[in-house]
Structure formats: structure tokens, C-alpha cells
Structure 1
Amino acid sequence: MANGFSKNLALKIISVIFAIILWLVAIREQNPEISRSYDNIPVEIVNEAKFRAKGLSLVFDISDKVTISVKGRARDLERVDVEQVKCSLDLSVINEPGEHKLFADIQGLPTGVSIRRKPEILVRVDRLVSKNLPLVPDINVEQASGFLVYPYKIKPAETVRVSGPEILIDRLHQARVELELKDVTSTVENSLPITLIDEDGQVVESRYINVEPQYAIVTIPVYPVKVLPVKPNIAGTPAENYEVVGVEVYPLQVTVSGEKSILDSMQSIGTEILDINEASTDVKRTLKLQLLDGITIAQPSPKEVDVLVRIKEKNIEKTLKINNIEMINKPQNVEAVLETDGSEIVIRGPVSVINSIDEEAVRLYVDVSNISRGENRLRIMADIPAGVELVAIEPNEAVVKIE
């Protein structure tokens, strides 16, 4: 009986094992192990700061998305949430320039699901270098009519600092900002992006190139213009017996520009002082225009003007009593009697000339060539020195009688 019991127990054990195997086969057929791929898994770069601290830089963008292949039971794979799957690439393992193939780490897979093979990503690395580039502004601003564009100011004024992979930094030739505006009527202040240019004039763009600063501040003052007459600033008094008889200015007016409130208060524009003290001849000078703070000369108007002050000797009048009146052209055999004793004359001219003239320098006469018998009233004429003007003769007629 003992042998029979042992045989039965062995059969029972074998039966149980066989049943378990059948159960496992059935389960495996219902939940088999399979493989599956997932596309467009985003790649996150980690430890980039440590990587750059080694004096290294990426050259080009790496793949930002990868495809992963995983394996696991069908039911486990159903629990994969693609939104939770993360892919990271650790740059801190790179220690020198060149091309490197790195395996990305995958996180976020549920229990029972494993990665078949980590994604391999090609990374190109170069030395991290820096240099200064000249900043070249390309500014073209046209003012509207009645306004003036002033020279622009830009910050930074001369250079920018760039850093990045050596292969890209070596290509860079200059930094540039561009601005084009038309019909501008007010001051312009713009923040302009800085563009990097190579020797061929081509734009170089890379997120691995750092520009400091990234923007340039350009300020372009624009103010209204106004046309103003020029008013010379003349000081002093001419020499004795001399006077100013005229002032000539060239140009007569200039165009200025500046704050509207200041322009509105201006009716003319002055010059530096022109001293004519004790002058006895014309005075000609080139004078600078005197500008208020905030006001400038608008081209093509000059910043200086030519001023001519005309100075002449003063004219005065003088009265002379002439007692002798001559008779000229008297016919022969005619007895003519001049009944007018004399006459006063008034002459005008320069002081120095007038003061040198006395009665002896003046000749009064009447023409008796056409007189008739009896009393004749004839016009008195005068010979006076050159450079003076006859103002009046009183009386201006003389009485001549013919018997």
C-alpha cells in the first residue's frame, strides 16, 4: 500500500506542475510580451552649465525629438503614457571638442516596461571662445517737411561681445543694427536687435552664440525747423563826424532747428559782436551766429554770416553870404546895372569838405545875354567846389536894368 500511495502522490504532483504550465501558457497567450515604438519623444539637455564650464560649446542643434523602442507585456504597454515619458541627454560626460555619440536616458516608463535600446544622439562640440565685434549701424531716417533729423546716438557705441563655438565665432566679421524710417516728425528711440554678419555679408544665426548686449538702443532726435532773419550785433560809435549809412548781411536769413517752445520765442538770430568804434571806413567781418541752448543751424544754412557796415563822413549844411554877383555874356555897347547887392547860398556835403569852403570858393553869376531894355529879373547861378551840393540860393533872382 505504501508503494501505491507514493505512486499516486507522484502522479498528483506531476499533474499539478503540468496544470501550472498549461495555465502559464494560457496566460502568456492572453498577455504576451511584445515590443512597441514611440515617436517624437522630446529631448531635454541636462548639465549644460557644467558642460560650458569646461570651456566647451555645442556647434549645432542636436535632435530635439527621438523615437524609442520598448518591450513588455501587452497589458503593461497599455499603461505607457507618452506624455510622461522623458528623454534626457547629459552633456557633462563630454570633456573635449569633437563628435560624440551619447546615449539618452529614458524616464517615465511604467513597471514591467523596459527600453530595448537607449537612443543614440550625435553631438558636435567645439571650444567655447569669445571676442569683440565692431558694431556697424545702418540707419536711414528721412524727416518730414519742416523737420530736421539730428545725428543719432547708439548704445553700445562701438563693439559687442560674442561667445560661442570657435568654428562659428571665427566666421563673424561684424555686428549690425538696421533701421529705416520715412516722414519722421518726432524723436525716435528704438531697441534694435543685433545681427551677426560674416565676411561675405551673410547673416550668421545660432542659439549657441551669445551676444552681449543682444539689443542696441538707437536715439534719433527730430525737431522742427524755422527760418529766421539775421540781426547783426553791432557795437561802438564811428569816428567823429562819421556815421553808419547802411548794414548789409549775407545771407539775410538762416534756417534753425530745435525745441518747438524755443523756436516759437525766437523772432531773429543774432551774431557775435562787431565793434565799429572810431571806424572811418567800411567795416566787413565774418561773424558767428549766436545760438540759444538747444538750437542748431539746419543745413545748408551756414554757421557764419558776412556783415558789411557802410560808414561815411557825415554831411552838414553851411550858409555863405556872397556879396559879388557877376554878369556874364553882356552884349557890347549895353549898359547894364546890377541892382541886387548879393545873395546867400546854402551848400551841403561832407564835414571836411564843407569846413574848407569859404565865400571865395563860390562864384555867383547871372547870364545877361538875352536881357531887354528896362528891368530884368534873372536867375542867379552858382559855381561851387566839387563834392558838395547846392541846397538853396536866397534870393535866387537878381535885378538887372538896361537904360
Structure 2
Amino acid sequence: MGRYFSGDVALKILSVLVALVLWLYVMNEQNPQVTYVVRDVPVQLKNLDDTSLALKDPSQQYFVNVKVRARRSIITGLKPEDIVAEVNLRGRMEGENMVPVSVSVPPNVELLDFSPKEIVVVLEAVIEEQIPVYVEVKGVPAEGFAAKTPLASPQAVLVRGPRSLVNSSRRAVVEADISDKNNMVIASLPVKVVDAKGNEQKGVTYRPETVEVRIPIVPVATVPVTPNIRGNPEEGYMIKEVRVEPSVVMVTGNVEVLKNINQISTEPINVSGLSQNMSVEAGLQMPRGVQPFDEALSKVRVLVEIERADLKALSFTGDDISFRNLQAGLRVVPEDGEFMLTVRGPNSIIDRVDIDSFKIYADAAGLSEGEYILKIKADVPEPYELISVEPDTVKVTIKRQ
């Protein structure tokens, strides 16, 4: 019985030894130890005092390559995230910091080497600074309306982050859409901090993250400015041209009043006795209930160009006369003869005019067939003045066509 038991135990021990040998054989032949380099293992930054320091470039990432040894079955499933690489930033200061990297690997994996052993981490002081809020208005209001200067509350945000990013932050931008609006726009809008080129600053925080924006949308009309000229220049001189800068203004006010405005006059401008050009600032005479859309625009500049005046006589015949308000089916036959039109104009341009520059006419309203003597009239464009028409009447015969 003892011999049987002893032989049975020996057989069992032998079986275990054979199994172990076979396992070692299989492991070494079928799943051997291999060496492998795991690339781009991310380095974690630990213990940074983010109340006073921050990465100069918050987007900066650090990596190491790690050389390991393990069974092929383990290596096959090994990923960069399975390896821990980190640096300790406790006690570091603003500027460049050369920091050693520590690496740990999973169980059953042997760490052979890694590189780099140190990395340079550039830190900057965390600062705070207030920057103004700027409202970017998008779209166009309803027809007949315009947007006044938008108001943001608060008017500034507090930006916090690395010194260089905060210093390069120029403004906090909010975008407000006023498309087709015809009354006050009030909205709570998100803030975006941008640099001088309009690029969004990603590495900073700010508060508040939203601001209230109010944009007045008011009724408007754009009308020409008419200079209110009083008096006459010195004898022998005349006004060649009057220019207003700006020549049109946008006004706002009561909708019903705006509908009936076709011009805005300046305050009186006296040119009495002048013989040379004049430039003057003149206020605007606003109707009751109307004011300039641009509150800073209270005056316009008026330039009055004055020149010595000359006369010019131009001859014409009855064929140059048009007959207005003639009844249908009738025609006018003027008598033969020559007439003389005398005009006065600035010396520099008087020679440019001819008879075609003026509209010479007689009024035939209410006349039927027969002979008539009609008054000759002329429409004279500025800056010319009509002095005389000689003779100032024409004998005509009105006939059926």
C-alpha cells in the first residue's frame, strides 16, 4: 500500500513537471518576451498652482516615447494611455522650467527606457484685466428705420489667464441681429474675447460670459439740406455756387412729421456786401419733434462761392419759343422777327451759355383760334439771372392743325 502511494505521488509530480516544461516551451515559443517602443505617450502636468500660474501656451502638449518589454500578448494590446507619464510642477516659477519626467507602466510590463527624460514647461503669471465690450450689429432694420448706438451692460468684462494672452486680448465681442426690426432690441448675448486681429482667445476665461444689449431702433428720413441765404453780394458780384457739407442729413422723430419733411434749412447766412468766397458753419433749423439721427451733428458747413458778374446777350427767333398749355388740335404760328435775351452770370462761366441753355416759352392757356400777343418768359437755371427779354412779347396766330 505504501509503495503504491509513493508511486502515485511520484507520477503526479512528474506530470506537473512535464506540464510546466510544456508551458514554458509554449510561452517561449508561441508568446515570447518582446521589446517595443510605445510612442507619443502624453505627459500629464501635475500640481500646477493654477491660481497664480498657467501654461504660456494652453494648447501646448508634451509626449514621451517609452521602451518596454513584455509578452507579445500583452504588448499587442498596449496603448499610450496605458502608460502614465507625468511631471511635478509644484513650486515652479514663471518662465522656462526644466522638469524631470517620471514614467510608470502596467503590471507584467518592464520599463526599459524613455525619452526625453526632461521637458521644458513655460509658465506665465495668471493676471486679470478688464476689457471693453463691443457690440457688432448684424443685419438691416425694417425700411424707414435705423439703429442708434448700441448699449451693453456691463460695458466691460474681466478677463483672466496667462499674462501674454490677457495682454493681447483687445475686446469682448457680442453679435446682435437687428434684421427687419422696427423697435428697441433687448437681448442677453454670449461674449467672445478676441485679439487685435479678431481671432478668438481660447486660453482665457472671463466673466460675465453674457451681457445685456439694448439697441434703439428709430424711424428715420434722409433729406437734403437747403442753405438759407440772405442778402446780396456787393454790386457787380453774384453767387456762383453754394455747397453744403454734408448735403443730406438723416433725421429722426415723430413718424407723421417725418412723412412730410422734404428738406432741412440752415439758419440764415448773410452774404450782404460780400465780394469774395465765404465758408461758415451753420446750424440746422429742425421742425418741432425732429432731431438729427447723429446727435453729434448740430451744424453743417456752407461754402458760398462769389464772383464778379458779367452780362451776355443771346438772340433767338419765334421758332425758339415753346407754347405751353395749348389746347389739343391747335397750333401756334409766331410772327417772324428777332428777339434778345440778356442774362447775368459769374464771369468764369458766362461764356458757356447759349440760347439752348434756357427754356423760352409763352403761355397759351385757354386760347382758341385767332391772333394774340403773348408775354415771353424764360426759365433760367442757377446761377444765372434773367435781366431782360426784348421785345418781351410775341404776336402769334393760333390755327387748327
The TM-score by the shorter chain falls in which range? 0.3 to 0.5
TM-score scaled by structure 2? 0.42
TM-score scaled by structure 1? 0.42
Structure with the greater alpha carbon radius of gyration: 1
